Amino acid sequence: MTGREETARLSARDAEHLDAAALAALVDAHAGTLYRVAYSVVRHAEDAEDVVQETYVRVLKHAGKLQEIRDARVWLIRIAWNLSLDRKRRRKTGPVDDDATLLLQQLPAQDLSAEKALAASQGHARLLRMMDSLPAKERQVLLLSAMQELSTVEIAEVLKTTESTVRSRLFRARQRMREKVEADAAMSSVGKGAGRHA
């Protein structure tokens, strides 16, 4: 059963009949998405896992509201998103994982040589740094769109804004990212060209 089917099944029940096991099933059905939401903000595996656990605790505390919720998936994502932002604010530091840590995480899962895996890891880190340099509101919609694959309607619900605002921010974020990637590629090609002539 997919996460959306599980959400629909559980959302249809009366809130008073939802027990801890049913709520755990709801969170489990979306655990991967919740983890990606959290990790995209906090950029640390343990913190992301903690956010998923905190999301479960919040869901237990507010189980009575589930009946009022239109889309439990979006509700869960909003909880995880807000908890992630709170955790990041408390931490007040940048990403903890360095390129070597990212490489070690990727090597067992992929059939890439160490050299290719390191290059991919460095490219991923460079993209994340570019995303971090975007204005906060644009970065938020881009993260939710690209990494969580949410629709503009769902992003609007998570961020408590309008769909047209989300579309506008997403357009600007993609445009800025395109400019940053093109500038980075131009700098890389200039650097490689200089290395050949030296």
Nearest to 73 by CA among 122, 14, 165, 8: 8
Query: Is it the case that residue 109 has pLDDT exceeding 80?
Result: no
Q: 21 versus 18: which is more confidently predicted?
A: 21
Cα radius of gyration rounded to whole Å, the chain: 20
pLDDT over 80 at 130, yes or no = yes
Is residue 107 over pLDDT 50? no
How high is the pLDDT of residue 99? 40
State the chain's mean pLDDT as an integer: 77
The confidence score (pLDDT) of residue 196 equals 52
Q: For a pLDDT cut of 70, what percent of the chain falls above it?
A: 69
CB–CB of 59/79 below 8 Å? yes
- For the entire predicted model, the pTM comes to 0.65
Q: Hey, what domains does the chain have and what are their CATH numbers?
A: 1-96 (1.10.1740.10)
DSSP state of 65: G
- 148 φ, ψ (degrees, to nearest 5): -105, -10
Cβ neighbours around 38 below 10 Å, total: 28
Q: How many angstroms separate the CA atoms of 56 and 75, rounded?
A: 12
Q: 129 pLDDT exceeds 70?
A: yes
Residue 48: which of 7, 6, 91 has the closest Cα?
91
User: Which range is most confident: 5-19, 102-116, 150-164?
Assistant: 150-164
What is the structure's pLDDT at 103?
39
Read off the pLDDT of each residue in 158-175 and give the average, rounded to a whole number: 94
What are the tens digits of pLDDT across the range 52-65?
Answer: 999 988 888 877 77
As a whole number of angstroms, the distance between CA 164 and CA 144 comes to 15
Whole-number pLDDT of residue 98: 45
Structure-model confidence comparison of residues 15 and 113, the more confident one: 113
Displacement of CA 190 from its chain's centroid (Å): 33
Q: pLDDT band for 122, please (50, 70, 90 cuts).
A: confident
pLDDT in tens, 37-96: 898 888 888 999 999 999 988 888 877 776 777 888 888 899 999 999 999 888 865 444
pLDDT band at 125 (very low <50, low <70, confident <90, very high): confident
